[in-house]
Chain A
């Protein structure tokens, strides 16, 4: 045997090959170090991103309450129920009796629990390729629990699935829609309070970090880190659900009557704190379904647009318009309501006094323009008070000019028209205006509110300052922020920006504005038993347009001697009926006042005249003898007496029936036997003055009640009668007449 191995071979192994091998090993070690030391953070992050599952635990979004803690917006957990036809069929042969039986049992059970169509669910169970068929959408906890126990009973763990979702729910649907706003698919606030206070309401989501394998299943390892969610805070608004309802009811009546092309809006506000008690906007929408266009005519016309892009654009424009809160986002020429501001400024500056008087020829010519008074023939010599009561433009042009551009602008700023009111709602706008260097013609047209533009909220805030002692307050809608347990986290404090005019000027303005309401014995804006101070406005939307379009508005405060509540109603471009603020909006404001003031605890204080025209309740007279019945009537304060029909001794029937309201001077018809009721044919009294109408109906032995304007002026007319012309009615029946005075402003 050749002894051993040659040294050369060993050298090659130990020196050459080993050195190369060692180098290779060093390269590998270097690379290893590079990966696990220098690139550690990259790979560690990468590993976490694929291995860790972060599951969000949604924080509960806060509730929105009205001022009396009635729920306006709330989050609720709902469940989607789905089936997996693929899992249903797993382990069965297609067409086998067992599979059919299983599908039937499952479909039947689900149809019973969910109240769905059995055939529909059964058909869906047969879509074997699908793993997700939604059979129950947004079901409540009770239903979800029933589904859960159905799953457990039958072992349908994979076949039926429940997905939890949190939904925002608005129990009052349309109520205060433009104030509350709504949320998006992730419950993020999109409009209104929901948007403005999104950060407060949403809270902080929590999450669980867990390990998952490559199939996204949780790993057996107990690696789990949990971060608890912090629920959102709740809000207590200044809005009062009841007042809001009064306002919305009234506004929808006005809209129905006058078909405004540009919608309508209304505000009820605390004069002294700026708390918004109600804020309504038309068109409104259902907060639970904000993406439907609720103006049916508009929706119809949009659906008729052939071009898809155009249709989409029109749709989003309509939706945006529907969602926008006109009260804060819409700017318009305020018209005559602005005269309150000019009057207050002129009084404060001593440019006018109650003894001032002006001459109104019916127009003013300046720099080639002619500005007309609403009374074309002119008011002639007119006092300062009457200038406001009759809304005389030439008088106010004079007042404005005597105030001067600089002073005018100073007060314009002072009353907050050049800045946002600061309300805690999104989308607030500021209008356009002339500054201190404006020309006389601009100053003149601004003096009757036809050159500048303002938002409804700016206007009502300024009128509050005019009447509340001169203080410009910052309006607001959120009274308190509450934590999840209902504890108050923070409360709103009244923000007074500045005192614009003196208490004295303000007092004068209150009495002047009360005169406006009480002119001619009571205008459309008067409310029986309450002292109201107000001003109407009718402005041209665009000057010099081909067809004139108008915006009617009315702003009032009450009680006139110590204003607490301000009410504002604006109708944009009325298309049927009248156009004047004093005619369209004043009754609406009066109606809101009539509902709101007693609700807030202000008791009515009737004048003698009012007491005279008050209505009373007809007592129960049947069964009594005729004399007794007559005495009872007198005792009830009904002075009109009774008309007895029939030959019996005691009253068998009476018209009106007991409990009906009739005026104190009304008559009650008493029947003493079974003879036929005497009937008359209802005449037409619309267009007559209230007095003439009443007179005529009295001749028919009909009782009359009057609502609306009580003015004795010849311009007050019956607007509608509760019983149509030509109807056969029993004598003694109560006919309701609604009156309105034709005013110019």
Chain B
């Protein structure tokens, strides 16, 4: 506790220097401004690109070229407000409700599977609508898993090395989620949650060899798909991935058009707003494939800048985690940062056809209503953790 007192004193001094009313509000510490700036740059970049990428489709679908961007800006503004608000809520609050949050998320995931409640879009029942606003329970589940895993890892501590504590509870949770999500079906969401979960477990202390078992599960899953859909399905999928131009059909169209957008952008791009692929060639260019439009308009340079921003985000996010005062904070910050970065990596990998096509949106960029609010809410939590970092000088 001594170190904590010292930290607080230092904090007060720091507050005095900046002229804050530290004495009046001792709990309100400065959050990581650099991290906020990175988030804001990502958001601003995203808003510009959503505007550019969405207006032809908006014009085509609704007759109003500002349809998507105006909604997007509203969600972003609401998200920023939520972020700032949440940054003031002590993150330990979530630990207390870890099981409740998970329970609610699980309930929503069950609800969405019920026809009539869950709404089908693009052949998958993934959305629940409350009035005009829709959200994906899987988005909430991501957060719920991060909170729950952070709690469990913080709770088990050294016992994470055992199978009973370090693998079994996590595996059960992930399997339940996987089963529910494959009902929708939602492969990309499942992969993402598995990815986040596994990385958190590994950092939390689960022995690496147990992941071999999970790898075995993956092989089993592939074997299952082969048994269910036949070898040709896999080879066809593989063919679509490795050589999308060989047979341009409904399944390869998006990949082809994405590659054409990226490739024709070249080094410097066609110029902001000058994408041609967004004119109904690339489906939903403002959503999962917005990165391709960035490449087309701003070239490799613009794309590398996006990657740089996410790298900076990761560096800063992990740094916040490291400065967290406790294991729960560390795992929570790590989990949230991993979630964003893993999603970004997978999205860019899909868009560049580095991995086979599966629907993953690009955080902060993709037009996505509640998803972007959810992400910004999580950023609020990270910012809150960063406030504690100053108190816990390590």
A binds B: yes
Q: Which residues of A contact B (CB under 8 A)?
A: 1-6, 8-10, 12-14, 16-18, 21, 24-25, 27-29, 31-33, 35-37, 39-40, 42-44, 46-48, 50-51, 211-215, 219, 221
Bound form: Cα–Cα A50–B279 in Å: 11
State whether A51 and B276 are in contact (beta carbons under 8 Å apart), knowing that A2-B327, A27-B354 are contacts in the complex.
yes
Find A9's partner among B204, B311, B348 (CB 8 Å cutoff).
B204
Chain B residues closer than 8 Å to A25, beta-carbon distance: 307, 311, 345
Give the Cβ gap from B282 to chain A, nearest Cβ, in Å: 9
CB-based contact A40/B352 at 8 Å: no
Bound form: Cα–Cα A4–B274 in Å: 50
State whether A28 and B349 are in contact (beta carbons under 8 Å apart), knowing that A2-B326, A40-B263 are contacts in the complex.
yes
**Sample of 6 more A-B contacts, CB < 8 Å, known A12-B202, A35-B263, A211-B279:** A2-B157, A5-B326, A14-B318, A28-B349, A214-B281, A219-B279
Bound form: Cα–Cα A543–B147 in Å: 109
Give the Cβ gap from A286 to chain B, nearest Cβ, in Å: 48
State whether A21 and B276 are in contact (beta carbons under 8 Å apart), knowing that A4-B394, A36-B263 are contacts in the complex.
no
Query: 20 A-B pairs, CB-CB below 8 angstroms?
Result: A2-B157, A3-B326, A6-B327, A9-B203, A9-B327, A18-B314, A27-B354, A28-B352, A32-B295, A32-B352, A36-B295, A36-B300, A37-B267, A40-B267, A47-B260, A48-B264, A51-B279, A213-B56, A214-B280, A214-B281
Question: 5 closest pairs, A vs B, by CB?
Answer: A43-B263, A213-B279, A47-B264, A214-B280, A5-B330
Q: Which of B193-209 contact A (CB under 8 A)?
A: 199, 202-205
Find B262's partner among A9, A13, A32 (CB 8 Å cutoff).
A32
Q: Give B299's nearest chain A residue, CB to CB.
A: A36
Chain B residues closer than 8 Å to A9, beta-carbon distance: 203-205, 327, 330
Chain A residues closer than 8 Å to B314, beta-carbon distance: 18, 21
State whether A28 and B263 are in contact (beta carbons under 8 Å apart), knowing that A9-B327, A51-B276 are contacts in the complex.
no
State whether A46 and B263 are in contact (beta carbons under 8 Å apart), knowing that A13-B334, A31-B352, A36-B299 are contacts in the complex.
yes
State which size class the interface on B falls in. Answer: 35 or more
CB-based contact B307/A29 at 8 Å: yes
CB-based contact A33/B349 at 8 Å: no
Give the Cβ gap from A11 to chain B, nearest Cβ, in Å: 9
State whether A35 and B394 are in contact (beta carbons under 8 Å apart), knowing that A12-B203, A213-B279 are contacts in the complex.
no
Q: Give A46's nearest chain B residue, CB to CB.
A: B260
Chain A residues closer than 8 Å to B304, beta-carbon distance: 29, 32
Find A13's partner among B203, B277, B349 (CB 8 Å cutoff).
B203
Chain A residues closer than 8 Å to B145, beta-carbon distance: none
CB-based contact A43/B262 at 8 Å: yes
By CB atoms of chain A within 10 A, which of B276, B318, B353 has the most?
Answer: B276
By CB atoms of chain B within 10 A, which of A35, A44, A50 has the most?
Answer: A35
Interface residue? B185 (CB, 8 A): no
CB-based contact A24/B276 at 8 Å: no
Chain B residues closer than 8 Å to A17, beta-carbon distance: 199, 202-203, 338
CB-based contact A47/B277 at 8 Å: yes
Bound form: Cα–Cα A35–B330 in Å: 38
Interface residue? B341 (CB, 8 A): yes
Q: Which residues of B contact A (CB under 8 A)?
A: 3, 56, 157, 199, 202-205, 259-267, 274, 276-277, 279-281, 295, 299-300, 303-304, 307, 311, 314, 318, 321-322, 324-327, 329-330, 334, 338, 341, 345, 348-349, 352-354, 392, 394
CB-based contact B318/A5 at 8 Å: no
Give the Cβ gap from B43 to chain A, nearest Cβ, in Å: 21
Q: Give A213's nearest chain B residue, CB to CB.
A: B279
CB-based contact A43/B259 at 8 Å: yes
Give the Cβ gap from A366 to chain B, nearest Cβ, in Å: 76
Chain A residues closer than 8 Å to B262, beta-carbon distance: 32, 35-36, 43
Chain B residues closer than 8 Å to A18, beta-carbon distance: 314, 318
Give the Cβ gap from B273 to chain A, nearest Cβ, in Å: 9
Chain B residues closer than 8 Å to A36, beta-carbon distance: 262-263, 265-267, 295, 299-300, 303
Chain A residues closer than 8 Å to B266, beta-carbon distance: 36-37, 40, 44
Chain B residues closer than 8 Å to A12, beta-carbon distance: 202-203
Chain B residues closer than 8 Å to A1, beta-carbon distance: 325-326
State whether A4 and B203 are in contact (beta carbons under 8 Å apart), knowing that A31-B354, A36-B267, A214-B280 are contacts in the complex.
no
State whether A13 and B321 are in contact (beta carbons under 8 Å apart), knowing that A4-B392, A8-B205 are contacts in the complex.
yes
Give the Cβ gap from A40 to chain B, nearest Cβ, in Å: 5
Bound form: Cα–Cα A3–B295 in Å: 45
Chain A residues closer than 8 Å to B392, beta-carbon distance: 4
CB-based contact B259/A35 at 8 Å: yes
Give the Cβ gap from A129 to chain B, nearest Cβ, in Å: 25
Give the Cβ gap from A31 to chain B, nearest Cβ, in Å: 5
Bound form: Cα–Cα A18–B322 in Å: 13
CB-based contact B276/A211 at 8 Å: yes
Give the Cβ gap from A202 to chain B, nearest Cβ, in Å: 33
CB-based contact B203/A50 at 8 Å: no
CB-based contact B341/A21 at 8 Å: yes
By CB atoms of chain A within 10 A, which of B157, B205, B329, B354 has the most?
Answer: B354
Give the Cβ gap from A27 to chain B, nearest Cβ, in Å: 7
Q: Give B202's nearest chain A residue, CB to CB.
A: A12
Give the Cβ gap from A6 to chain B, nearest Cβ, in Å: 8
Chain A residues closer than 8 Å to B157, beta-carbon distance: 2
Q: Give A24's nearest chain B residue, CB to CB.
A: B345
Bound form: Cα–Cα A327–B267 in Å: 65
Q: Give B65's nearest chain A residue, CB to CB.
A: A220
Bound form: Cα–Cα A10–B259 in Å: 38
Chain A residues closer than 8 Å to B260, beta-carbon distance: 43, 46-47, 50
CB-based contact B263/A44 at 8 Å: yes
Bound form: Cα–Cα A1–B338 in Å: 25
Bound form: Cα–Cα A2–B303 in Å: 42
Bound form: Cα–Cα A337–B286 in Å: 86
Chain B residues closer than 8 Å to A29, beta-carbon distance: 304, 307
Chain A residues closer than 8 Å to B327, beta-carbon distance: 2, 5-6, 9
Bound form: Cα–Cα A277–B348 in Å: 76
CB-based contact B322/A5 at 8 Å: yes
Give the Cβ gap from A485 to chain B, nearest Cβ, in Å: 40
Give the Cβ gap from B349 to chain A, nearest Cβ, in Å: 6
Find B325's partner among A4, A16, A35 (CB 8 Å cutoff).
A4
Give the Cβ gap from B325 to chain A, nearest Cβ, in Å: 7
Q: Give B345's nearest chain A residue, CB to CB.
A: A24
Chain B residues closer than 8 Å to A6, beta-carbon distance: 327
CB-based contact B299/A28 at 8 Å: no
Bound form: Cα–Cα A9–B156 in Å: 13
Bound form: Cα–Cα A688–B269 in Å: 99
State whether A21 and B56 are in contact (beta carbons under 8 Å apart), knowing that A28-B307, A32-B300, A50-B281 are contacts in the complex.
no
Q: Give B348's nearest chain A residue, CB to CB.
A: A28
Bound form: Cα–Cα A336–B32 in Å: 114
Chain B residues closer than 8 Å to A16, beta-carbon distance: 202
Chain B residues closer than 8 Å to A3, beta-carbon distance: 3, 326
